[in-house]
C-alpha cells in the first residue's frame, strides 16, 4: 500500500475508534452504574458487532480506553499550561483540573469503575499498558511542575500529582454513592457526607499543595 493510502487508512481507523468511544461514552453517561455491552455500542454507533471487536476485544477494554481518553485530554491541557514561559500558579493548575477533570461528565465515576475493574476483569496486558502509559505521563508532567515549583524538589512533581489524584478520586467516592446507596444519604446519621464536592476538593487540594510547597506555601 502506498504511503499516502496507508496514512489515510490509519487516520480512518483512528476516526472509527473515536466514534466508537463516543458511543461508549453516551451509553455510559446514560447509566453510570452498568457497563454497556458490545451489542449496545455497535447499535449506538451504527456498526456491526464484529467491527467493534476489531477495536475492543472486550467490553472492559472499551471502558478502559474511554478512561484513557479522558486522562490523555486532561494531561494535554495541563501540559499546555506548564509549557508556558511565564510563572504558573496553583490557581491556574486548579482551573485546569476543575475544567478538564472534576467537571467532565463521567470522568471520576469512570475512573473509579476502571480501577476496580482492573483488579478483577480487565485483561492483564491491557491494564499493565494503561498503568505504564500513566506512569510515563506522570513523569513528564511531574518534571514540568518541578520547573515551575522548584520547592517540590526532584520527584516532587510526580508525588504531588499522585497525591492530588488520590484526593480527587477518594473524596469523590466518599461523597458520591452509587445508585444503591444514593437514597441512604437522606438518613440523619449520614448527614456529614452531604457536602459540596467541588468546594471540598478545592480546599483539600489547596491544603495539600500548600504543604508540598513549604516554605513558600500558597496564599489562602
What distance in Å separates the CA atoms of residue 59 and residue 24, rounded to the nearest whole number?
10
So what's the pLDDT on residue 123? 87
CATH number at residue 9: 1.10.10
30 belongs to a structural domain: yes
176 within 8 A of 108, measured Cβ to Cβ:
yes
Q: Give the model confidence (pLDDT) of 92-149 as tens digits.
A: 999 999 999 999 999 999 999 898 888 888 889 989 999 999 999 999 999 999 999 9
pLDDT surpasses 90 at 210: yes
Let me know the angle formed at the C-alpha of 24 by 117 and 56, rounded to the nearest 5 degrees: 65
Q: What is the mean pLDDT of residues 16-20?
A: 93
Q: Is position 69 within any domain? A: yes
**How large is the average pLDDT for residues 162-185?**
86
Comparing 159 with 218, the larger pLDDT belongs to 159
Residue 134 falls within a domain, yes or no? yes
Both 42 and 143 in one domain: the answer is: no
Domain membership of residue 29 as a residue range? 1-56
Q: Are residues 7 and 111 in the same domain?
A: no
Q: 98 and 34, same structural domain?
A: no
Domain boundary at 20, 38, 56, which?
Answer: 56
Q: Could you tell me which of 41, 38, 59, 45 has the C-alpha nearest to residue 16?
A: 45
Q: Tell me, what's the pLDDT at 4? A: 35
For the beta carbon of residue 5, count every other beta carbon within 10 angstroms.
9
Residues 189 and 149 occupy one common structural domain: yes
Q: Are 96 and 81 in contact (CB under 8 A)?
A: yes
Residue whose cell numbers read 473515536: 18
Note the helical H segments in the chain.
Answer: 3-30, 38-45, 49-55, 59-82, 90-97, 107-120, 124-148, 156-175, 179-182, 197-212
**Cα 168 from chain centroid (whole Å):** 10
CA 210 to chain centre: 23
Amino acid at each position: 500500500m502506498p504511503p499516502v493510502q496507508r496514512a489515510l487508512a490509519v487516520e480512518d481507523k483512528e476516526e472509527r475508534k473515536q466514534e466508537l468511544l463516543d458511543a461508549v461514552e453516551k451509553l455510559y453517561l446514560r447509566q453510570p452504574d452498568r457497563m454497556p455491552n458490545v451489542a449496545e455500542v455497535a447499535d449506538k454507533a451504527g456498526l456491526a458487532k464484529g467491527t467493534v471487536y476489531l477495536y475492543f476485544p472486550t467490553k472492559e477494554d472499551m471502558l478502559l480506553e474511554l478512561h484513557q481518553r479522558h486522562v490523555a485530554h486532561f494531561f494535554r491541557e495541563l501540559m499546555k499550561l506548564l509549557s508556558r514561559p511565564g510563572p504558573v500558579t496553583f490557581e491556574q493548575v486548579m482551573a485546569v483540573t476543575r475544567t478538564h477533570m472534576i467537571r467532565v461528565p463521567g470522568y471520576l465515576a469512570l475512573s473509579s469503575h476502571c480501577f476496580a475493574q482492573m483488579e478483577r476483569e480487565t485483561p492483564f496486558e491491557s491494564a499493565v499498558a494503561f498503568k505504564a502509559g500513566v506512569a510515563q505521563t506522570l513523569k513528564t508532567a511531574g518534571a514540568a511542575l518541578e520547573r515551575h515549583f522548584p520547592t517540590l524538589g526532584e520527584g516532587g512533581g510526580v508525588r504531588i500529582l499522585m497525591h492530588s489524584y488520590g484526593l480527587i478520586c477518594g473524596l469523590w467516592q466518599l461523597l458520591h454513592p452509587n445508585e444503591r446507596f444514593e437514597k441512604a444519604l437522606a438518613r440523619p446519621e449520614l448527614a456529614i457526607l452531604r457536602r459540596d464536592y467541588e468546594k471540598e476538593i478545592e480546599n483539600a487540594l489547596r491544603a495539600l499543595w500548600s504543604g508540598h510547597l513549604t516554605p513558600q506555601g500558597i496564599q489562602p
